[in-house]
Structure 1
Amino acid sequence: MEKPWKCEYCGKRFSYPSQIENHRRSHTGERPFSCLACGEEFTQRSSLLTHQRIHTGERPFTCCDCGKGFTQSASLRRHQRVHTGKTPYTCSVCGKGFTQSANFQRHRRIHTGEKPFTCSACGKGFIQSFELLTHQQVHTEERPFHCSECQKCFKSIKQLLAHQRTHTGERPFTCSVCGKGFTRSSTLLTHQQVHTGEKTFICSECGKGCITSSHLLIHQRVHSGERPFTCLACGKGFIQSSHLQKHQRLHK
């Protein structure tokens, strides 16, 4: 089939205008579809509909081996590889195998150096979209969303809604494996990797995998030399705040 629609950011081609419109959002970071229950934002309507099952509890896709239910068919297919041991995606450079195509594609960029997610403000490129979204906050200090309880300000309604749960104690996102509740869906997704053992956040410098984006950001400081946490008593710098707190005990 002919693919006349070409992405101006990365050159990828598509058969239909709707496909390229959805794809462009991976570069721009635009998320026009919002969940009314929690404020989570999505690039596609179908992703929002799937997400809403977290709130309704609906899990229409069931594993015939263990009976575990899933909110989407793709999650069921990935899960079934736990039973079969299949890793259908193999890196031709280093031979590493992956159960998911998305993780395989991210890994390949370590070898190619490709950084398809570009900041429109400064031109800096990133391997993963979450890195771009995190970086873009550097360019704005505006925080228009205010908490009525403590007056703390946030850059997005999603951040405000998540923060307000610290006051209400609400934990609407529950792990189907162990029952633990979370204030954010992203925290739930990160937690679920404890059960699967997957490390989806990959360092572009050395290929090390991390369970969370925050762990990856901390690890990347090993390569950059950045030490943002400084002791006021002696001026020594540290990669993470916990290391600074331990060091400060030496001065007491």
Structure 2
Amino acid sequence: MDQAAPRVALFATCLVDLIRPRIGFAAVAALEAAGCAVIVPDGQTCCGQPALNSGDRDNAAAIAKRMIALLEPYEHIVVPSGSCAGTIRCHYPELFEHDAEWGPRADALAARTFEIMAYLDEVRGWRPEGVTLDATAAYHDSCSGLRELGIKRQPRRLLGAIDGLALTPLAGEETCCGFGGTFCVKYPAISNAIVEEKAQAIEATGADLLLAGDLGCLMNMAGKLNRRGAPVRAFHAIELIAGMGDGPAIGEER
């Protein structure tokens, strides 16, 4: 690895670690292809998003302090999730805005934290090379990535470099899928109605694949598509970008 390569800490996220480690391996592969020295820091845990979303600011702050101390030695922190990246970039500074010690540390970490597709596209200026996949895909813009971080064009530019992959328009591509973290637990009937509409829109595209940048959203949509018997396979976009789009889709692992 080039000595000038940035030292990038991969914050894997809970869902990737527990449900779909393949996304983490794809993230490492893509970052290394983009010239980064990738470290996966030991001891990383939840970013605190569930506690924060539930109004438990004390526990969210305690978790955030631990993660700030763990991640601040690294030049860049890259996250394969818009919601977790948004928690660090947008909400850590809010948690500590009146804290003379932790506020500046949270601000500094936030400025060096990126959602992975934004990092590859905007910071590294990288495009996948030699990746081929003959398929049609619909892309869902997950809420936190889109609204907190402006993740929209970046994944489409990266996916556009994959030979044979065609992106087809998805009606309501910016509309919530109904997951919403703890929302789907607190309001299951509403969540189910929302994802039912989303699944119908995905099926109407005739796409082979469903892509997004947040595993929680993908699990929600893939589960509904599977229960409907729809022949649409779901992947995190970084899996395709890293050339891993020929493996098992979300929900197909055994």
Q: Same fold (TM over 0.5)?
A: no
Instruction: Report which structure shows greater RCO (CA 8 Å, sep ≥6).
Output: 2
What TM-score, normalized by structure 1, do the two folds share?
Answer: 0.28
What TM-score, normalized by structure 2, do the two folds share?
Answer: 0.28
Higher percent of residues as helix: 2
Q: Which has the larger radius of gyration?
A: 1
